[in-house]
Amino acid sequence: MVLVVAKTGISTLDGLGCGPALQVIEASGCENLRNIAALSTATHLRLVNLSGTGVDDVSSLQCLGTLESLLLQGCRRLVDLQCWPTLEHAARLRRVDLEDTPIQRVAEDFKFPTGLQHLFLDKWPGSDLSFIPVESKLQTVFVRNRYLSDMTSLSNCGSHVQCVDLNDCTGVRSLSPLRSAAGLIQLSTVGTEVSDLTLLAGCLAKLERLFLKRCSGVRDISVLKRARRLSMIDFTGTGVADISALAASAGTLEKVLLDDCSALRDISVLSGARALTTLGMDNTSVSDISALAGCAPVLQALSLKNCSQVSSISALGGARVLRTLNVTGTGVRDLSPLAGTAATLEKLFVRGCSGVSDISVLTGAGRLSDIDFTGTRVADISPLAACARTLQKMVLDGCSGLCDISVLSRARALTLLDLESTAVEDISAIAGCAPVLELLLLGKCSGLCDITALGGARRIRTLSLESTRVRDLSPLAGTAATLEKLNLKGCSGVSDISVLAGAGRLTDVDLTGTSVADISPHTASAPT
């Protein structure tokens, strides 16, 4: 018998037929469910899913002889397992999920069964993994415990273990318990104190995914010369400066994150990475990306943010499926190499690239949704006509030569628009997207005096009209109720703010330099 009551409002299982015939109980997402005493007679349960419920006591479960999967993920009220019989004798149990469940107390000799294959724990008490028995068959070990420092018992898994995730276990320093993990496929030690990778020498034959983000002590990855199957690596925030050891895996690499590896300069090893789809190199010292020419045809996401020495993206001339490109803070001036992939681009960030002025290559970019040209010399955005209807976020802050935004007359999905410090005087083109706009920055558009186009606005949360010539705020009547931040600093022509009488969500208002003499409309609606 199978009982499925997932995501319902039930608070009890009484009267639902939870007898010996019941084999599966699926009650995930039943936030009101706390008492599961009715399951005491369900002695043949194979799968129990109480994830996301209000259960705080599982002692009613009397099915250890038949139980195969126990899912208690996100049971925030479940903190004590002391009164529950040890799971050590649950011979058929293969999966236990207690992720995001804050267990604080367990029996001193608590152990999981040797046949358990997949284990997910969060906030588990103690500083070791003594709950892993000798000759354990564990394949997946997921632990979130900042007090964990002793991983000795992990060696009990031997070659069975395939996936180890110890993210944010800040007390973990050594990988020695994994010396014999010959079957290891994925290792994640994000945010730990791990520094020595040589201990992985015996478990590289099958390793495919290695995540060392924020392991600041990791500098030497030469041991990875023996790894031939790596497909995903994350060395973000490590001290890695030399990635030549990845040569043997270059052909299998699909995702590589090297953000904040500030000393990294040479990526020539990636010339053989013909399957690479995602590459992050923010805040590195890389200057030459010519090695990416080989993977350009399959590359989907590339971030070079603050790689100040990168001046050319000619290696992307063969790109055909690029969706996201970030060259913020680089020396890039010419975007023409993007011609072959303009049609697939969805997000383009060119912030701070002061040499960029021509975006004609984007004429056929019909999928762009997120654009940032802050601080560039772009003065003509007419090439964006093809993507006007798909645009959701557009930042043109500091494009001082920009005065015409008529291309946005077709925009209907634009929720964020930043035109600060531009020469724009006429915003009538954004009338069509006014109903969905949530953030609009027009500060220091000194020639702007009319915001009639905002008459249809209904969702604006943040609006800046700083140092404009706007005098009449009445077009904001329809969105006053949603406004949270309003900057009118330097708007000397503004004297009447009666439109704000219904602005009950305003938390930040700047009226500096206006002619406002009566702020009662605002104070009357101010949150209490």
What is the rounded average pLDDT of the residues 44-70? 95
pLDDT the model gives residue 30: 97
* Confidence grade of residue 126 (pLDDT, cut at 50, 70, 90): confident
Rounded to an integer, what distance in angstroms lies between the CA atom of residue 247 and that of residue 224? 9
What is the rounded average pLDDT of the residues 262-283? 98
Return the C-alpha torsion angle 280, 284, 285, 289, nearest 10.
Answer: 0
pLDDT the model gives residue 527: 55
What is the rounded average pLDDT of the residues 42-57? 96
Residue 499 pLDDT more than 80? yes
What are 201's two structure tokens? 């020498």
Residue 2 pLDDT more than 50? yes
Residue with tokens 């007898």: 19
What is the rounded average pLDDT of the residues 231-255? 98
Taking CB atoms within 8 Å and a gap of at least 24, the contacts of 241-248 are: 241/265, 242/266, 243/267, 243/269, 243/270, 244/268, 244/269, 245/221, 246/221, 246/270, 247/272, 248/224
| % of the chain surpassing 90 pLDDT | 92
Strands 140-144 and 118-122: parallel
Residue 526 pLDDT more than 80? no
Rounded to an integer, what distance in angstroms lies between the CA atom of residue 49 and that of residue 95? 11
- Residue 290 Cα distances to 181, 293, 349, 354, angstroms: 37, 6, 20, 22
pLDDT the model gives residue 261: 98
Residue 528 pLDDT more than 50? no
| Phi (first) and psi of residue 278, to 5 degrees | -135, 130
Find the range with the poorest average confidence among 108-112, 311-315, 443-447. 108-112
Residue 150 pLDDT more than 80? yes
| % of the chain surpassing 70 pLDDT | 98
Share of the chain residues as helix, strand and coil, in percent rounded to the nearest 5 = 20, 15, 65
Rounded to an integer, what distance in angstroms lies between the CA atom of residue 526 and that of residue 506? 6
| Closest to 114 in 3D by CA, of 142, 77, 86 | 86
Q: Phi/psi class of residue 329: alpha, beta or left (left: φ > 0; alpha: ψ in -120 to 50)?
A: left
What is the rounded average pLDDT of the residues 82-108? 90
Q: Which residues contact 301 (CB under 8 A, 6 or more apart)?
A: 277, 278, 279, 280, 322, 323, 324, 325
Find the range with the poorest average confidence among 3-17, 280-294, 431-445. 3-17
pLDDT the model gives residue 15: 87
Residue 421 pLDDT more than 90? yes
Instruction: Tell me the DSSP string of 38-99.
Output: GGGG-TT-SEEE-TTS-----TT---TTT--EEE-TT-TT--B-TTSPPGGG-TT--EEEET
Residue 209 pLDDT more than 50? yes
Residue 125 pLDDT more than 90? no
What is the torsional sign of CA 517, 521, 522, 524?
positive
pLDDT the model gives residue 146: 86
Rounded to an integer, what distance in angstroms lies between the CA atom of residue 173 and that of residue 169? 9
pLDDT the model gives residue 249: 98
Find the range with the poorest average confidence among 124-133, 153-162, 305-314, 421-430. 124-133
Residue 232 pLDDT more than 80? yes
Q: Please state, rounded to an integer, the average pLDDT across all residues of the chain.
A: 96
Residue 525 pLDDT more than 70? no
Q: Which residues contact 48 (CB under 8 A, 6 or more apart)?
A: 25, 39, 61, 63, 67, 69, 70, 71
Q: Which amino acid is at 71?
A: L
pLDDT the model gives residue 521: 66
Where exactly are the structural domains of the chain? 1-125
